[in-house]
Structure 1
């Protein structure tokens, strides 16, 4: 009866209009009430950012824990503890204070309690203030080293961490119910500068108090055009770093050439940095877990690399579970294996090109890029059976010998090989002959650490690295074979010790020995000609550094390195300095300075060296026509960081003495000169970065004034070959759960070039050039896109997939040009272009 009455009421038009009116009034009034209750509320994320800046605490939480939660802004006169209590009442979340000014945010759930007692393994003293982190709750140890933790599942992983000690991971069910388990902690095995800024540009990049940049690939975001964690590509996102020809074998840090960069893999010096002759990194992205980039203020334990230091490190921890992954992209396929053996774990990683199976559009674009202005390009119609292959193999063994002793062993093998057949008709007979180019490296090292006590720890490292570049160029018309070879063999030993004078001061002292041998061979079979040079340099280095920190406000590193070269009986003293001061809550002042030198460099004898593909060869200083290169640099910067906004500005001046003209790659009137000179760089770097929960956007700008000085040249002072005066990068990355997307634009004002004199282009059959580097190539523009997505195939199998497009607009960017006289004795321009539109895709599964 009631139901029929209601239906009759609703069927009446007049009554139905009343219902709709009442419903609209209800919705509107509800909205007004909600607006009145939420008009003063703001997202919890913004409140957290404000609290972090006011009280210098750091909050840790899962994104979905605070998502869509709005709260009133706490009153300014509240204490930190009052604010936490206020937020707990407002949000019904749990705010737990941890050690080292960390606060965890968790949802309230049902739980059971576990108990533990932490002690120093060596002294058996209780450890107060250690952080105990579960999935949804956290705790800290008291004066007796005891803690209790709320746990929500027996299989939950418990993280136990303490400043200065190695992090421990234990399952919740390993704790005995009703008892406090005794847990011994070991001293930490590494010393790193404190990170003052997290998520610099993108997730996983941090800036340390010593001015260096630290990249954590265990928690890395995404950058435009990249779908793999390639270190040498990643660092080009920083202001002041770029590659003039888009290769990882020609990275220019603050106006220097690539041979002025020190590249270390687990402490081993690398003389080869690229696969595909420079287009991708020679170091497999799967094995690099952390990387450090230093542009100035280098730690005195490092020598060489007057322009920059790039340090790549593998995992230092012993893996306790078997890990397997395999993947493929449009260039190569790879596999990764990490096998635990008791107190040790063995990691094996391999990568190989897939060009012998399928030639993808990406491979074709890369091959066309490296073959420009080469023997292949010059005789492409006479060339056949072109085969290209590259591979690398990496081994890393970590072994925890005892509570105080740790051992790491590394091996690395890298190879690139290009083979092609040249064909010609000679005296009506068809003849063929192979030409080839091979580039490879083999390196190995041993690293051992001993923790003597809670204050003193020492590290001993030894390594050997061998690099070889070899080409055979067959000239059918002249019936000649030209063999070229460049070898580098280096052995190094380093012993260093850290001593903690107190909680604020750490002293580093050490000794380093390096023996470097370089040989170069030119061998022609007809007419017979053979020239081989071999040189060896041995250097001894003593270094010391005092690191001082005062809370989170001041950090100072004062270092000194003494070098003795027994070849030249020379003594070089190099001071190093870094200073970082926080002021006015949101600002940091940074001052860096260093003196450095290097005995190795790269030169170009002729532009067609090594088939014109890999033209540079390593040489050693001889203090005659090839001096020891010395560099000095000072920089100062200021940084503002608040509420997700970062503004960073830095100015620097660098002076480098002792460069040779042959190392600069001149292709003008100074191409065959053997002069020595200097270059001075004055620059400004600026970065604006806005970071929010899922989005990071950045704008960077670099200005450079980079000038050569060669006293024996007609123009004694003129622009550097790699001087790019203005450079701008605009990018953005977005992440949502397992999806990451990034897009970016790169623009610069173009490289310098030297053009023939228009009014009188040729004199005595030689090109008559204008003033050196007085002109500019066209502006450079590139738009890149990339996206990655992670998903589960099953409970045991995780998949990763990604796509990228390099140079989406397919701009024909000129990266080099030069002139040669044609048969009519008229200068003809030869042009090299950057990569055109280049897609790539990857798929990986992990077990």
Structure 2
């Protein structure tokens, strides 16, 4: 009975004692009180608990509960030796976990970056993260694109269960994200109408094992590649040469490998890709269609990272590492493996690329003696380097470099007749840049940069007999361009900003051609180098009130001394929320372009090098000008996303040199003309759960060309006019697996029909034998693509991450006709002159495989 009374008295004393501990006490006092209350002893170092205070809850009537609370609040480890003695020591292996959600929607945020002093992780599809080997004094930072970053201490996160952490979308950010998961993770839509892709966070897309920068953009509504090329990006009726593509500010004139098949950018070093389909920022000039702005690392890395991998076309390595706290370096190198290993992917690409060229003809001849393929070597490389120097929080300097190179050498011999055919193509684009970002104060910043780009296309082709050349062609197209710009950003208040600046661009473009055929002609076209020094003043006012409204009004004023003309390019974009989760947007713009690509109609050589760059001279090559207006709506609520935009675009300054149209009378006259495009883009997406999404995109449009002197003065469809196209995609995540399936269908491209299959040998132009231009359409195009990836770690330490993946293009092996042209020929049996149809076919069934490892 005495023991029971003692227990009751002790119990009541403990309740009274701990009920008084409303205010924090030193940890030493708390431990001493516990010793007296529960008749135990603690062993600890005075230094260990010095300066620590704690508040114990009122309901601390159980010793184990009290000790657990002390551990959670102090980060210390209390270990029981026996019923009386306990030790207090440092916990050197603290582990915290949690779930990161959107503050408003409460949806999980995937791929949120969680960084501690010596480690870092990303959240999974449930928003979950776990960080090990932490110390009590450590602080974790949480960051995600479009959201305000936050920090939390280890003591805040320590708990018996994983804590829920909320991130709020960034407020008062003038270019904030309005839709964080536009198609899939890693694809967002900004307030100004641009779309941002983050390749390293991007979910797997149908037909892609990796986040190919240019192929990924073609998943967006309104962007297509009619001839299945990575670089063949047509944005709302514009052609690829009318787009502006920048890599860390460096303008590129060649953006692909293997004649357009693969984009020339390693996605594993790309931080983000900003895509404008309309009303681009005023800092972007010399284009009349879309903008694709590619950025690599923008800050000094905190730790070393490296990666390597290969697929069935190329292999690459990349690394990012700091040198101290102020300097960071990033490097990437990628090379084709086609000359080392024959793969089914490269075989399929080769069949598509080389059809209707001398290589396809050579392969046919080589099937029968006496022709032999002595050499057929193709290779490509790309590498880029970036150095960031950040001496303080107000200044950041960066040096950037990129090099893209493609080589092809082909030799066909006929030993019986001592004949040889030789073809060599070298296409290169290298660029360099230096950038200085200066923050003068909290409201004023400045971005100054100098960039240089050098593009060259060299082709050498000849035919030899008895070691004497009797037919040859040599081409050399070169661009050297230096650009300087400085742009100031002045924040006027919480919702407005003024951007203004100056640009200077020096462009030098030359084209040289030597051509000789002893039987037919001798031709020489050695054009002097054309130089243009363009100066531009620009200004833009940005108004942004969170997600309620956004207005961008800008003007570029450029003087072109080559033509002694001044050009004005006004641009405006506006968006307003009319109902919760429902916005209306509109834009209008005028743009000019003074460098454009021309097409050689009469090329008689290799067949892949007939598109050449030139500077506008105001005559045969006018300055291109586009005018575009858009009107759209956007709805985003409870997993449903609807984005629709209608647009009208008019392009002036086109010539038959740039479009490839022939004069149907003589084939020699160059005509000027224009194109009018009227269309609309639609996107419907449903996020069924955190792991399942479906989207459907649909584009409708009509491209009408008008060239006086062509088609009897009547309008006709553009060469790449696609009246209707639909794309249906499904994405499913299951644990570490990521699956996607996509089906595309579109109307066939237009073509002109031959009226008479015979021709007069004196006639120069095939156009004389054609009916109305582009009044017929090829059969509809459709194909089914799929992709699957699996991410895993090599050990429980999660230091080495790997990915394997497969993609299947055109699963049911549809033989799509991409385009139709014609060529003159002579029937070997009858000797009569005939016109043959030349069809270009799409990729057949094409598998690919990827394996990657990242440290």
Shorter-chain-normalised TM-score: which range?
0.7 to 0.9
- Residue 26 of structure 1 corresponds to none
Residue 376 (str. 1) matches residue 376 (str. 2) = no
CA contact (8 A) 2:197 2:273 kept: yes
Residue 444 (str. 1) matches residue 442 (str. 2) = no
Matches within 5 A, 1:445-594: 445-476=433-464, 479-524=470-515, 530-533=524-527, 534-594=529-589
Provide the C-alpha distance between the structure 2 equivalents of 1:96 and 1:276, rounded to a whole number of angstroms: 43
Provide the C-alpha distance between the structure 1 equivalents of 2:662 and 2:348, rounded to a whole number of angstroms: 25
**2:376 counterpart (377, 386, 395):** 386
Aligned-partner SS, 1:315: coil
**Cα 1:529–1:772 shift into 2, 3 Å:** closer
**1:798 counterpart (792, 796, 801):** 801
Alignment coverage as a number of residue pairs: 701
Aligned-partner SS, 1:822: strand
- Residue 728 of structure 2 corresponds to 730
Provide the C-alpha distance between the structure 1 equivalents of 2:99 and 2:631, rounded to a whole number of angstroms: 39
Q: TM-score, normalised by structure 1?
A: 0.78
Provide the C-alpha distance between the structure 2 equivalents of 1:437 and 1:408, rounded to a whole number of angstroms: 34
Matches within 5 A, 1:198-597: 198-342=180-324, 343-380=326-363, 381=365, 382=371, 383-424=373-414, 429-432=417-420, 434-476=422-464, 479-524=470-515, 530-533=524-527, 534-597=529-592
Provide the C-alpha distance between the structure 2 equivalents of 1:135 and 1:519, rounded to a whole number of angstroms: 52
Provide the C-alpha distance between the structure 2 equivalents of 1:761 and 1:530, rounded to a whole number of angstroms: 27
Provide the C-alpha distance between the structure 2 equivalents of 1:516 and 1:558, rounded to a whole number of angstroms: 28
- Residue 615 of structure 2 corresponds to 620
**Cα 1:644–1:420 shift into 2, 3 Å:** same
Provide the C-alpha distance between the structure 1 equivalents of 2:810 and 2:192, rounded to a whole number of angstroms: 35
Provide the C-alpha distance between the structure 2 equivalents of 1:103 and 1:469, rounded to a whole number of angstroms: 53
Aligned-partner SS, 2:269: coil
**Cα 1:154–1:362 shift into 2, 3 Å:** farther
Aligned-partner SS, 1:377: helix
Residue 701 (str. 1) matches residue 698 (str. 2) = yes
Provide the C-alpha distance between the structure 2 equivalents of 1:431 and 1:481, rounded to a whole number of angstroms: 14
Shifted more, 377-386 versus 297-306: the winner is 377-386
Deviation at 1:431, TM superposition (A): 3.6
- Residue 771 of structure 1 corresponds to 772
Provide the C-alpha distance between the structure 2 equivalents of 1:400 and 1:201, rounded to a whole number of angstroms: 35
- Residue 630 of structure 1 corresponds to 625
Matches within 5 A, 1:35-50: none
Residue 755 (str. 1) matches residue 750 (str. 2) = no
Aligned-partner SS, 2:292: strand
- Residue 690 of structure 1 corresponds to 686
Provide the C-alpha distance between the structure 2 equivalents of 1:503 and 1:845, rounded to a whole number of angstroms: 44
Provide the C-alpha distance between the structure 1 equivalents of 2:685 and 2:783, rounded to a whole number of angstroms: 20
Q: TM-score, normalised by structure 2?
A: 0.77
Provide the C-alpha distance between the structure 1 equivalents of 2:590 and 2:196, rounded to a whole number of angstroms: 22
Instruction: Write the deviation string for residues 63-117 of structure 1: whole angstroms up to 9, x where unpaired.
Output: xxxxxxxxxxxxxxxxxxxxxxxxxxxxxx999999x9697999xxxxxxx9xxx
Provide the C-alpha distance between the structure 2 equivalents of 1:588 and 1:610, rounded to a whole number of angstroms: 53
CA contact (8 A) 1:564 1:570 kept: yes
Provide the C-alpha distance between the structure 2 equivalents of 1:192 and 1:840, rounded to a whole number of angstroms: 41
Aligned-partner SS, 1:441: strand
Instruction: Write the deviation string for residues 798-841 of structure 1: whole angstroms up to 9, x where unpaired.
Output: 11111001111111110111122331223211111011111000
Provide the C-alpha distance between the structure 2 equivalents of 1:764 and 1:393, rounded to a whole number of angstroms: 50
Deviation at 1:526, TM superposition (A): 6.9
Instruction: Write the deviation string for residues 152-209 of structure 1: whole angstroms up to 9, x where unpaired.
Output: 864965116799999687985999xxxxxxxxxxxx9x97612111211111111112
Provide the C-alpha distance between the structure 2 equivalents of 1:105 and 1:376, rounded to a whole number of angstroms: 53
Aligned-partner SS, 2:620: coil
**Cα 1:684–1:284 shift into 2, 3 Å:** same
**Cα 1:643–1:97 shift into 2, 3 Å:** closer
Provide the C-alpha distance between the structure 2 equivalents of 1:97 and 1:480, rounded to a whole number of angstroms: 69
- Residue 838 of structure 1 corresponds to 846
Shifted more, 734-743 versus 626-635: the winner is 734-743
Aligned-partner SS, 1:611: coil
**Cα 1:466–1:167 shift into 2, 3 Å:** farther
**Cα 1:105–1:736 shift into 2, 3 Å:** closer
CA contact (8 A) 1:676 1:710 kept: yes
**1:666 counterpart (642, 655, 661):** 661
Deviation at 1:695, TM superposition (A): 1.1
Instruction: Write the deviation string for residues 484-504 of structure 1: whole angstroms up to 9, x where unpaired.
Output: 111111110010011111101
Deviation at 1:384, TM superposition (A): 3.2
CA contact (8 A) 1:413 1:442 kept: yes
Aligned-partner SS, 1:479: strand
Matches within 5 A, 1:645-660: 645-660=640-655
- Residue 55 of structure 1 corresponds to none
CA contact (8 A) 1:213 1:293 kept: yes
CA contact (8 A) 1:541 1:561 kept: yes
- Residue 825 of structure 2 corresponds to 822
CA contact (8 A) 2:695 2:728 kept: yes
Provide the C-alpha distance between the structure 2 equivalents of 1:363 and 1:723, rounded to a whole number of angstroms: 29
Deviation at 1:507, TM superposition (A): 0.5
Provide the C-alpha distance between the structure 2 equivalents of 1:722 and 1:481, rounded to a whole number of angstroms: 32
Provide the C-alpha distance between the structure 2 equivalents of 1:95 and 1:371, rounded to a whole number of angstroms: 52
CA contact (8 A) 1:757 1:770 kept: yes
Aligned-partner SS, 1:232: helix
**1:712 counterpart (701, 709, 717):** 709
**Cα 1:334–1:679 shift into 2, 3 Å:** same
Deviation at 1:289, TM superposition (A): 1.5
**Cα 1:163–1:608 shift into 2, 3 Å:** closer
Aligned-partner SS, 2:303: coil
Provide the C-alpha distance between the structure 2 equivalents of 1:95 and 1:202, rounded to a whole number of angstroms: 20
Q: Which has the larger radius of gyration?
A: 2
Provide the C-alpha distance between the structure 2 equivalents of 1:355 and 1:105, rounded to a whole number of angstroms: 42
Provide the C-alpha distance between the structure 2 equivalents of 1:324 and 1:161, rounded to a whole number of angstroms: 21
- Residue 56 of structure 2 corresponds to none
**Cα 1:278–1:165 shift into 2, 3 Å:** closer
Provide the C-alpha distance between the structure 1 equivalents of 2:533 and 2:499, rounded to a whole number of angstroms: 23
**Structure 1, unaligned runs of 5 or more:** 1-92, 107-113, 115-132, 137-150, 176-187
Instruction: Write the deviation string for residues 208-228 of structure 1: whole angstroms up to 9, x where unpaired.
Output: 121111112232111100111
**1:721 counterpart (719, 722, 732):** 719
**Cα 1:529–1:826 shift into 2, 3 Å:** closer
**Cα 1:461–1:429 shift into 2, 3 Å:** same
CA contact (8 A) 1:339 1:347 kept: yes
CA contact (8 A) 2:200 2:268 kept: no
CA contact (8 A) 1:662 1:673 kept: no
